[in-house]
Amino acid sequence: MKMYYDDDVDAEVVADKTIAVIGYGSQGRGQSRNMADSGLNVIVGLREGGSSWQKAIDDGMNVKTIEEAAEAADIIHILLPDETQEKVYKEQIAPYVEAGNTISFSHGYNIHFGLIQPGEDVNIVMFAPKGPGSRVRTTYLEGFGIPGLVAIEQDATGDALQLALGMAKAVGLTRAGVIETTFKEETETDLFGEQTVLCGGLTALIKAGFETLVEAGYQPEIAYFETCHEVKLIVDDIYENGMAGMWHDVSNTAEYGGLTRGNRVITDATKAEMKAILGEIQDGTFKKEFADENATDAANLKEMRAAEERETIEVVGKRLRIACGLQKEDE
């Protein structure tokens, strides 16, 4: 494992570069503001009059259209949603890319799957915070940062790694440490983690536990507390102290019960399905499925999203969060 920290970075490499951050969502907002506060010359490229245009101006950012930002930039850092990057790149960015430019990302999806294919005379790099954009910003303001990844797909100028690390340092990532990886490894592991553990696996596990208790006649509010609300407490403990530290912190009853029953829930069949899902990511099945979904304007996703909001656990959970002061009624 190769890890980079502040002292490993030649920040002067990016000091005279103009960096266009394309997109102003969670990552775009956090990363661009951090780079600007670190003294880099940052332009935010957006659709004029779009939902983020005024927000970026109010934040004090230098805002231009995507075309104007791409034309002015030495480094074009694309932080749009995966499903929109290909179209925006081809129509609004590619015409302005020049030899020696750097095309940068925080997720390898579009490069790894060949949806965006810059010429051989530009750098293709990635630096990826391992956390949401809001945390990228708050930890930076606190004087620290969150860990990240760095990858070089194409080094046309001979200094692509230092350019990527220079931006990562300006965002605050090298304060915590940045691990070197590849576009392939980052993309495939990121999708796998989202689908089987962090998003898909975790929510399915929570819902199954909630439904089991409710179907057995227990109050849904109590079921929610036991299977969903307390997840944060356990995850925070694992985040800070590792699994061994978490086992040390919980009761002996919880430790014994968890260690003797966990493998009855997550079985060899579960792991086999995880391997199948990883295979679908590696062979492009998921990429094609996601592309087909977006070709229908995400009709299936919108239907699933609406169905999730109607789930009993969501209705009960929102009511409890409001009652406990964790959420406002209009959210």
Is 45 annotated in a binding site? The answer is no
pLDDT > 90? residue 1: no
Q: How far apart are CA 143 and CA 293, in angstroms?
A: 41
User: For 273-313, how does the pLDDT look when each residue is reduced to its tens digit (9 = 90+)?
Assistant: 999 999 999 999 999 999 999 999 999 999 999 999 999 99
Q: Where are the alpha helices (DSSP H) in 81-198?
A: 82-88, 109-112, 133-141, 160-171, 173-176, 183-193
Per-residue pLDDT, 269: 97
Per-residue pLDDT, 327: 87
Mean pLDDT calculated for residue range 83-100: 98
CA torsion sign for 90, 91, 93, 95 is: positive
Q: Which domains does the chain have, with CATH numbers?
A: 3-181 (3.40.50.720), 191-323 (no CATH)
pLDDT > 80? residue 168: yes
Is 117 annotated in a binding site? The answer is no
Per-residue pLDDT, 79: 98
Q: pTM (2 decimals)? A: 0.93
User: For 217-276, how does the pLDDT look when each residue is reduced to its tens digit (9 = 90+)?
Assistant: 999 999 999 999 999 999 999 999 999 999 999 999 999 999 999 999 999 999 999 999
User: For 170-215, how does the pLDDT look when each residue is reduced to its tens digit (9 = 90+)?
Assistant: 999 999 999 999 999 999 999 999 999 999 999 999 999 999 999 9
Catalytic positions, please?
107
Q: Cβ of 201: how many Cβ atoms within 10 Å?
A: 18
Confidence of residue 331 (pLDDT cuts 50, 70, 90): confident
- The token pair that represents 281 in the structure block: 């990511």
Does residue 56 contact residue 23 with C-beta atoms inside 8 Å? no
Q: How far apart are CA 297 and CA 3, in angstroms?
A: 40
User: For 131-158, how does the pLDDT look when each residue is reduced to its tens digit (9 = 90+)?
Assistant: 999 999 999 999 999 999 999 999 999 9
Per-residue pLDDT, 264: 97
Is 109 annotated in a binding site? The answer is no
Is 134 annotated in a binding site? The answer is no
Is 282 annotated in a binding site? The answer is no
Per-residue pLDDT, 326: 85
Q: How far apart are CA 27 and CA 63, in angstroms?
A: 16
C-alpha angle 58-105-240 in degrees, rounded to nearest 5: 85
Give exposure, 128-158, as e/b (b: 16+ Cβ within 10 Å): bbebebeebbebbeeeebbbbbbbbbbebbe
With CA atoms as reference, report the closest residue to 129 among 160, 168, 73, 157: 168
Is 106 annotated in a binding site? The answer is no
Confidence of residue 71 (pLDDT cuts 50, 70, 90): very high
Per-residue pLDDT, 307: 95
Is 12 annotated in a binding site? The answer is no
Per-residue pLDDT, 184: 98
Is 47 annotated in a binding site? The answer is yes
Q: How far apart are CA 329 and CA 331, in angstroms?
A: 6
pLDDT > 80? residue 330: no
